Chain A
Amino acid sequence: MAEIIMEAKALTKQYGKQKALDNVNFKVREGSIVGLVGPNGAGKTTAMKVMGGLVFPTEGSISIYGETSEKGLCHSRTRMSFVIETPYAKENMTARENLEKQRIQKGIPDKKRIDEVLEIVNLTDTGKKPVKNFSMGMRQRLGLANALLGKPEFMVLDEPINGLDPEGIVEIRELLKKLNKEEKTTIIISSHILSELSLLCTDYIFVDHGRITGELSSEELERECCEYFRINTVNNEKASAILTHECGITGLEATEDGKLKIYDGLDRIEEISTALYKGGATPIELCRNAVNLEEYYMRKVQGDRI
């Protein structure tokens, strides 16, 4: 079993009357890639800010690499890197100058490291272009370059693929996978692009209204993400009644485009299609699918059962 390198205990952060984090408990295993999943304002960024020492918790504590004191946590953070909210960037400086300033600030002696990280994130050809003329994607890459500068053991990334083009998203995903595999880098990542998280993460933490609503590993998610049939008939209203009353289907759901989804009775599909045909709701589409992270999340948020 991998070592726990970060643990949040009863973490609460209150802004006025509003609780951004409410008694949050979670652990991060060494070498894992943890996806923080939740809607805007769920508390993901606040949790990351507490990890980074930007925000003081109202209650509870955090332990990183076994350190809980302020001094110890600062020391632990030297082994980490963060991209939180705004990627690091001084507008009037070039990418190289930005990284040079950060290299000095982090006390990294090797100047060549700047070239290495610029190459990793594909920003070698920006020359004298100041950051103010960078696209959102380029800023994200610069933020990641800064995060990689100190060869971190543990990265905390808040929406790092925001604004990246599809090619950039794939590059960053592969880079993070490589770091995780080859350097054993632990990563906490939040993103609204859930399909991306599902291609990357080994563990998921679901956050909503400042609370952890669920935690599961990618294996557990696979088990949870059960299969279903998507059905479209000539009369879906009638089909819905037949499925419920005649076929005894309990896991029935209408999709946004008016089609139907059934989650049980999947081994009786011949019997179901015959019943629909005989009942005057002839099937015109019958397709077997599996729930992905996005659907799992939506169902979880909406409080439906899988």
Chain B
Amino acid sequence: MINVFRSLNYYVRKDLAIVIALISIVSMPLLAMWFMRALDGMELSDMTGASYFTGVNGDVVVICMIAVMVIVIRLVGSDMSDKSVNYEILGGNRRIKAYLGRIAAGLLWGTVICWALMSMPIGYLTLINGWGNNVDMKWALIRQFLMFLPLLRMVSLFIFLTFLVGSAGKGMALAFVIIEAEAIFDMIAYEVLDIELKYAFFTSSISQIMRVDNAKSIVVDGKQVSFYLAELPAEQIWKTAAVSLIAATLYLTGAAVLFIRKDRN
């Protein structure tokens, strides 16, 4: 298992699409901050952890879903179409161990590392300019950490889809369609039916957590600032966590069945 995991980690460095996707996750916040400065006329010193979190973090996370999709699906599925994945089994790895090694690599890069990269701007802006006054740090961090779980659900779905279709290209196409379809359903439900789909889709789950738009105006040091109310109801926290974990478990179980029981042609 560990050797499969290590060999996939080696592969990450060699796959141009994955490298570009990783770079885009790192550079996307910088681009978003540049836009934020240009549009709001902010000074560099006003770029705080809180202003980033309330200003662009949610949008950046949603845009980065595509990059996460590329990383995960390329990593766990690019060797399915060229059949080089078969050589893990031919090399004497038990299927369950090859599967676990593959899943471990997919989850490490798709959730842990991508989540860390997406959270990085909050960290470095806080270190440089402080936290700021736009949002309560505690609730912002709770939201940021909670986002890890729907991200895990999303990555698990991508893994399942890739194992289902047995090809990175087809997997990406299918995942893209699902992301778009979820976004459209979510929008229709909200705009037309006035229903907030908090848990039905991973996209809505993530945007519900990352979207903070309830603000009030407060005065700090003589300056008027928007203070966003980021508190989450306990029910939303545990339901998001539970639904994400259950869905991730189901997707990964499905992927395991496909990988372990199916003939590999």
Whether the Cβ atoms of B15 and A92 lie closer than 8 Å is: yes
**Is A101 part of the binding interface, using a Cβ–Cβ cutoff of 8 Å?**
yes
**Is A55 part of the binding interface, using a Cβ–Cβ cutoff of 8 Å?**
yes
A146 in complex: contacting residue of B3, B16, B87, CB < 8 Å? B87
**Is B239 part of the binding interface, using a Cβ–Cβ cutoff of 8 Å?**
no
- What does DSSP make chain B's interface, helix, strand, loop or mixed? helix
Whether the Cβ atoms of A105 and B82 lie closer than 8 Å is: no
B82 in complex: contacting residue of A76, A86, A97, CB < 8 Å? A86
Whether the Cβ atoms of B16 and A78 lie closer than 8 Å is: no
The stretch of A67-75, A176-184, A227-235 that contacts the partner chain: A67-75
**Is A82 part of the binding interface, using a Cβ–Cβ cutoff of 8 Å?**
yes
Whether the Cβ atoms of B264 and A54 lie closer than 8 Å is: yes
Per-residue CB contact flags for chain A residues 65-94 toward chain B (1 = under 8 Å, else 0) read 000001100111111111011101111110
A89 in complex: contacting residue of B4, B10, B82, B263, CB < 8 Å? B82
Q: How large is the interface on B (under 10, 10 to 19, 20 to 34, 35 or more residues)?
A: 20 to 34
When distances are taken between beta carbons in the complex, the residues of chain B under 8 Å from A82 are 87, 90
**Is A102 part of the binding interface, using a Cβ–Cβ cutoff of 8 Å?**
yes
Whether the Cβ atoms of A105 and B91 lie closer than 8 Å is: yes
B11 in complex: contacting residue of A74, A101, A106, CB < 8 Å? A101
Whether the Cβ atoms of A78 and B3 lie closer than 8 Å is: no
Whether the Cβ atoms of B92 and A80 lie closer than 8 Å is: yes
Whether the Cβ atoms of B91 and A106 lie closer than 8 Å is: yes
Bound CA span A56–B262, Å: 8
**Is A241 part of the binding interface, using a Cβ–Cβ cutoff of 8 Å?**
no
**Is A107 part of the binding interface, using a Cβ–Cβ cutoff of 8 Å?**
yes
Q: List 19 A-B contacts (CB under 8 A).
A: A49-B263, A54-B86, A74-B94, A78-B92, A79-B92, A82-B90, A85-B83, A86-B82, A90-B78, A92-B14, A101-B10, A101-B14, A102-B91, A104-B6, A104-B7, A105-B3, A105-B91, A106-B91, A107-B3
